Amino acid sequence: MDQKPAWKDDFPISWVDDHFVTRREFTKSLVLVSCAAFCANGALVAMGALEKARGAEKPEPRKIGSVHDVPVGGSRVFEFPGPGEPCLLVRLDADRFVAFAQKCTHLGCPVLYRKESRQLHCPCHEGFFNAEDGKVIAGPPPRPLPRVELERKGDELWAMAFRK
């Protein structure tokens, strides 16, 4: 029952020796971790530069829907200037629409509209923005939300650009 299998003679691997890591090998692997951290930092810089270059281009105006799509006091998410860049359209009154980038200026969590207080709320770190102008009311966000300029063409709503 306790016989040694034949493959052990053919492939005499010592698992103890195989899994043994010397101090020098461990130190070398630490340098690889250091390299990975540096590369991650570099990737962030590259992504930041790419985003900056994309932001400098003038966005194409985009139809975001009809005025009837959003009830008074309601909100709706749309993508502007391109896919993967969510914005929030809010209907404050029957004739008043405002839109802001949905990414919180603190750490990029999506903000949500609170009808009862007319505020935009970031649930991640309790940031509050004024829904009228996007200014910070409370919480850790350092800057107001970027505002999207809207244009009404009949019953259609168009996002034109980000207000500077």
DSSP string, 88-105: EEEE-SSS-EEEEESB-T
| Residue nearer to other proteins on the CB measure, 91 or 105 | 105
Among 19, 24, 153, 164, binds other proteins (CB under 8 A): 24
The dihedral through the CA atoms of 57, 130, 157, 65 has a sign that is positive
| Residue nearer to other proteins on the CB measure, 1 or 31 | 31
Q: Is residue 23 at the binding interface for other proteins, with CB under 8 A as the rule?
A: yes
Count of residues touching other proteins (by CB under 8 A): 27
At which residue do the structure tokens 């899994």 appear?
A: 19
Binding mask 82-121 for other proteins (x = CB under 8 A): ---------------------x-xxxx-------------
Q: Are 129 and 137 in contact (CB under 8 A)?
A: yes
Q: What residues contact residue 72 under an 8 Å CB cut-off, 6+ apart?
A: 91, 93, 94
What value, to the nearest 5°, has the Cα angle with vertex 15 and ends 11 and 16? 140
Interacting span for other proteins (CB under 8 A) from 1-9, 39-47, 62-70, 81-89: 39-47
At which residue do the structure tokens 């053919």 appear?
A: 10
DSSP 110: B
Distance in Å, CB of 82 to other proteins, minimum: 16
Contact residues: other proteins, CB under 8 A: 23-24, 26-28, 30-31, 33-35, 37-38, 40-42, 44-45, 47-48, 52, 103, 105-108, 142-143
